[in-house]
Amino acid sequence: MFLVLYLLSACTPSCEQVCEKLVACDNNGTERMPEAECTESCQEQQALYDDWTDVQKRDALDAELSCLYNSTCVEVATGRCYDEDIWAF
Give the pLDDT mean for 63-79. 93
Element (H, E) at 19: helix 15-25
The upper half-sphere exposure of residue 56, i.e. CA atoms within 13 Å in the direction of its Cβ, equals 3
pLDDT at 74: 92
- Compute the distance between CA of residue 3 and CA of residue 25 in angstroms, rounded to an integer: 31
Give the pLDDT mean for 19-26. 89
Helices and strands: H and E segment counts in the chain: 5, 0
When pLDDT is cut at 50, 70 and 90, the band that residue 9 belongs to is: very low
Give the pLDDT mean for 53-80. 90
Is 0.75 surpassed by the pTM of this model? yes
Can you give 32-70 as a three-state secondary structure string? CCCHHHHHHHHHHHHHHHHHCCCHHHHHHHHHHHHHHHH
